[in-house]
C-alpha cells in the first residue's frame, strides 16, 4: 500500500499558544495506524522551533515543513529565511503556492532558485502547480496540483480530473509523488487519496481545526 502524504498548510494562521494547543490535541495520533500515512505540518516560520521541540518531547508522529524558503543563501537579505536556517527545524518546504505567485508576484525564475536551494540544504520541496502548463524544475520529487479555483472555495476539483493531472505530471516530468490541494475536507479526502496517481493531499482550511484534521487523517 502506498504511503499517503497528508500535508497541513496553516498559511498565515495561529499564535504560538494556538499552535501548541493544536499539537496537544493531536496526541492521540499515536494510537492511530499510520503505517500508510505521513503527516507533515507547515506552520509559519516563527513556530518551527517550538513545534519541533514539542513534537520531539511528546513523540508525535508529525514532520515539519516550511511554507516558503528564501531564493537566496544566507547573507544580506532582510526579512528572508534561508534554507540553512529552515533545515535546522524542518524537512520539507512548500514552494510556489498560488498565494505567493499571486500576492508576491513570484515567477518561475525565483521559484526555481528556491527549489534549488531547498535541495542544496536537504529539504524536500513540495512544488505547487496550478495547471498542466506550469513549469517544473529539475529533480523535483513531489509536486502539488492545487488549482486556484479550488483553493479555499469549498469547490474542489473532481478526483477524476485531479488524478488525470497527476498522471500527466508523472508521465511528463521526473516526479514520483503528486499531491492534490484545494478544498480537501475530512468528508472528501478519501475520494482523492484512493486515486492511483494521487499520493497525498495539501490541506489548508481543514487543517486549522485539530478535530477536523484528525478526522481527515483517519479518512485519508
Ligand atoms: P484549502 O487550501 O484547503 O483551504 O482549499 C488548499 C491549498 O492552499 O492548497
Residues 200-209: pLDDT tens digits? Answer: 999 999 999 9
Give residue for cell 496526541. 27
Average pLDDT on 94-114 reads 96
What DSSP character marks residue 143? E
> For the segment 127-182, what is each residue's pLDDT rounded down to a tens digit?
999 998 888 888 899 999 999 999 999 999 999 999 999 999 999 998 989 999 99
| Distance from residue 90's CA to the centre of ligand 1 (Å) | 21
Question: What's the confidence (pLDDT) of residue 174?
Answer: 85
Question: What's the confidence (pLDDT) of residue 147?
Answer: 96
Average pLDDT on 92-104 reads 96
Phi first, then psi, for residue 62 (nearest 5°) are -130, 135
Q: Is 186 in the pocket of ligand 1 (CB under 6 A)?
A: no
Do the Cβ atoms of 215 and 206 come closer than 8 Å?
no
Q: Is 37 in the pocket of ligand 1 (CB under 6 A)?
A: no
Ligand 1 atom closest to the Cα of residue 150 is 5
Q: Is 155 in the pocket of ligand 1 (CB under 6 A)?
A: no
Q: Is 191 in the pocket of ligand 1 (CB under 6 A)?
A: no
Q: Output the average pLDDT for the chain.
A: 96
Do the Cβ atoms of 196 and 204 come closer than 8 Å?
no
Give residue for cell 497527476. 166
Nearest Cα residue to atom 2 of ligand 1:
204
Q: Is 179 in the pocket of ligand 1 (CB under 6 A)?
A: no
Ligand 1 atom closest to the Cα of residue 205 is 4
Question: What's the confidence (pLDDT) of residue 33?
Answer: 86
The residue count for the chain: 220
| Distance from residue 76's CA to the centre of ligand 1 (Å) | 32
Q: Is 151 in the pocket of ligand 1 (CB under 6 A)?
A: yes
**Rounded to an integer, what distance in angstroms lies between the CA atom of residue 83 and that of residue 72?**
8
In the chain, which residue ranges form alpha helices assigned H by DSSP?
Answer: 16-25, 48-58, 83-87, 98-103, 108-120, 159-172, 189-193, 210-219
Confidence class for position 1, pLDDT limits 50, 70, 90: very low
Distances (CA, A) of 158 to 67, 114, 149, 165, 197: 25, 30, 12, 11, 14
| Distance from residue 5's CA to the centre of ligand 1 (Å) | 15
Average pLDDT on 24-50 reads 94
Question: Is the torsion defined by CA of 99, 105, 111, 112 positive or negative?
Answer: positive
Ligand 1 atom closest to the Cα of residue 184 is 3
Nearest Cα residue to atom 9 of ligand 1:
181
| Distance from residue 137's CA to the centre of ligand 1 (Å) | 22
Give residue for cell 508522529. 61
Amino acid at each position: 500500500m502506498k504511503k499517503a502524504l497528508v500535508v497541513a498548510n496553516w498559511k498565515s494562521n495561529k499564535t504560538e499558544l494556538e499552535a501548541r494547543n493544536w499539537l496537544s490535541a493531536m496526541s492521540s495520533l499515536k494510537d492511530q495506524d499510520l503505517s500508510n500515512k505521513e503527516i507533515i505540518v507547515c506552520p509559519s516560520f516563527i513556530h518551527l522551533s517550538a513545534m519541533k521541540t514539542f513534537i520531539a518531547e511528546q513523540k508525535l508522529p508529525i514532520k515539519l515543513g516550511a511554507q516558503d524558503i528564501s531564493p537566496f543563501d544566507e547573507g544580506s537579505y532582510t526579512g528572508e529565511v534561508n534554507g540553512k536556517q529552515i533545515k535546522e527545524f524542518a524537512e520539507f518546504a512548500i514552494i510556489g503556492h498560488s498565494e505567493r505567485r499571486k500576492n508576491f508576484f513570484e515567477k518561475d525564475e525565483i521559484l526555481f532558485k528556491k527549489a534549488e536551494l531547498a535541495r542544496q540544504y536537504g529539504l524536500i520541496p513540495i512544488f505547487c502547480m496550478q495547471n498542466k502548463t506550469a513549469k517544473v524544475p529539475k529533480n523535483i520529487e513531489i509536486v502539488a496540483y492545487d488549482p486556484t479555483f479550488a483553493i479555499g472555495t469549498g469547490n474542489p476539483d473532481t478526483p477524476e480530473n485531479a488524478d488525470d493531472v497527476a498522471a500527466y505530471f508523472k508521465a511528463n516530468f521526473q516526479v514520483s509523488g503528486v499531491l492534490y490541494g484545494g478544498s480537501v475536507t475530512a468528508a472528501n479526502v478519501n475520494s482523492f487519496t484512493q486515486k492511483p496517481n494521487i499520493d497525498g493531499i495539501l490541506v489548508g482550511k481543514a487543517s486549522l481545526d485539530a478535530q477536523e484534521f484528525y478526522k481527515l487523517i483517519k479518512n485519508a
